[in-house]
Amino acid sequence: MSTDTKPAYSPGLAGVVAGETAICSVDPNSGLLYRGYDIHEMASLASFEEVAFLLLNGELPTGEQLATFTKEVAAERALPAPVIDMLHLLPKGTHPMDMLRTGVSMLCAFDKDLNDNSHDANIRKSKRLIARLSSLVTNGWRISQGEELIPDKPNLTHAGNFFYKLTGAVPEAWQIRMLDTIFILYADHEFNASTFAARVTASTLADIYAAVTSACGTLKGPLHGGANEASMKMLDEIKTPDRAEKWMMDALARKAKIMGFGHRVYKKGDSRVPVMREIARDLGKRLGREEWVPICEKLEATMEREKHLCANVDLYAAPVFTMLGFPPELNTPIFGVSRVAGWCAHVVEQHDNNRLIRPRSLYSGTPERPYKAISPNGAK
């Protein structure tokens, strides 16, 4: 008979504090701080590199440190030739998130620091991962479309180079600013599912590539990062603001989960939504595509009235990515291109002060019962 006593059980670990972090804090009433700095001001003024430096190192960079960090990340963009060959080998129609996860896993074999989990080696590997996840997404997409690869432009920032490598056109300053803001909004979110997966993997003392591969796998699901691709499908189906309320009512009647709504932590609104909504409005005006924001707003009002649930950042990210010219299949990989900064910072923190993450489970199977052998299995 079991003599096991178990701690309190919370399905889905809801409300459970599973570890400490000094990287990011999420306030259920709509606040988000990176290393103590409110993301809102940084989102409109900082570069992604500045925020990545902050997440990884704990403090904002000086001008000189930022210039060095930006250059160091840019210098790591090239993918090893066998990784590019592998991307060519994947069957047509492979989802870009699967290309990304496979690419990250393969990259480990080309990093001389792979099995060194020291702080300094992890920071070096983090810069490579930040640079190369972007290249995996841009190169992977062009390969999947049968297009020639475009060489990096070292003088472009992370956001600028992402645009350029994907499309072949040097982006306008306002486009780079917008992508920097989006990257900053997505860069970290404390113990979200993919970051937690990365930390669980790192807590076994597996390397940072193993951890980021786990994170990529976890990000793909529509309850997490996959929601921004699924939201775009929904908005495409709705098409016009006058159809939004009925669409939502029908979906709720079917008890469907509506993508881009709800959040495990935020209950009074996702702190990133107002910024993403303004980007969507701005893009809509610039491009003459002003239908998306009213559709989203109508959905928000209906969901608030019917279920008191708030929109999350993925609802507005979806039309923003579409208006920036990105295909919907890249919505979640773009999230990953940003969130890798947070994943890496969390792996560094985990390895610097490690304890194996290994919770218990509540057994719900058959109680202990006697085993009756079917055959003597050769024994006499």
**Residue 187 DSSP one-character state:** S
Stretch that binds ligand COA, among 55-63, 178-186, 305-313, 368-376 (CB under 6 A): 305-313
Q: Which is nearer to ligand COA, 138 or 312 (CB)?
A: 312
Query: What is the rounded distance in angstroms from the CA atom of residue 190 to the CA atom of residue 173?
Result: 30
Q: Which of 42, 131, 179, 259 binds ligand COA (CB under 6 A)?
A: 259
Answer for which of 103, 262, 284, 333 binds ligand COA (CB under 6 A) is: 262
Among 39, 210, 227, 348, contact with ligand COA (rule: CB under 6 A)? 227
Given 152, 189, 207, 224, which residue is catalytic? 224
By CB under 6 A, tell whether 336 contacts ligand COA. no
| Residues 205, 183: Cα–Cα separation, whole Å | 28
**Does residue 267 bind ligand COA (CB under 6 A)?**
no
Sheet holding 24-27, edge to edge: 24-27, 31-34, 37-38
> Per the residue annotation, which of 263, 270, 346, 351 is the catalytic one?
263
Q: Verify binding: residue 342, ligand COA, rule CB under 6 A.
A: no
Q: Contact between 258 and ligand COA (CB under 6 A)?
A: yes
For residues 60 and 265, which CB has a smaller minimum distance to ligand COA in the complex?
265
Tell me the torsion sign for CA atoms 192, 272, 259, 98: negative
Query: By C-alpha distance, which of 321, 322, 329 is closest to 137?
Result: 329
The encoded tokens of residue 110 equal 């080309």
User: Rounded distance, CA 323 to CA 336, Å?
Assistant: 19
Q: Any idea which residue has 């709720």 for tokens? A: 252
Structure tokens at 16: 């459970």
Residues in contact with ligand COA, counted by CB under 6 A, come to a total of 17
Q: Which is nearer to ligand COA, 53 or 191 (CB)?
A: 191
Using CB under 6 A, which of the segments 24-32, 93-101, 258-266, 336-344 binds ligand COA?
258-266
The only residue of 35, 77, 165, 263 in contact with ligand COA, by rule CB under 6 A: 263
Q: Examine residue 246 and tell whether it contacts ligand COA (CB under 6 A).
A: no
Whichever of 177 and 264 has its CB closer to ligand COA, that residue is 264
* Chain residue at closest Cβ approach to ligand COA: 262
Number of CB atoms found within 10 A of residue 179's CB: 26
Distance from chain centroid for Cα 18: 20
Q: Whose structure tokens read 């559709």?
A: 295
Instruction: Please choose, out of 46-54, 223-231, 350-358, 370-378, the segment that lies near ligand COA by the rule CB under 6 A.
Output: 223-231
Contacts of 301 (CB under 8 A, 6+ apart): 245
Our finding on whether 223 is near ligand COA (CB under 6 A) is yes
**Could you tell me the smallest distance in angstroms from the CB atom of residue 259 to ligand COA?**
5
d(CA 146, CA 140): 10
Burial class (CB in 10 A: 0-12, 13-18, 19+), 366: exposed
CA distances to 53, 155, 235 from 62, rounded to whole Å, are 10, 19, 42
Q: Exposure string (b/e) for 139-157, b if CB count within 10 Å is 16 or more?
A: bbbbbbeeeeebebeeebb
Minimum gap (Å) between residue 180 Cβ and ligand COA: 21
User: Which CB atom, from 258 or from 295, has the smaller least distance to ligand COA?
Assistant: 258
Q: Among this protein's residues, is 263 annotated catalytic?
A: yes
- Active-site hit among 152, 180, 188, 314: 314
Q: Is 334 in the site for ligand COA (CB under 6 A)?
A: no
229 binds ligand COA (CB under 6 A): no
DSSP state of 311: B
Q: Which residues are catalytic?
A: 224, 263, 314
Sites of contact with ligand COA (CB under 6 A):
12, 14, 223-224, 227, 257-264, 307, 309, 312, 314
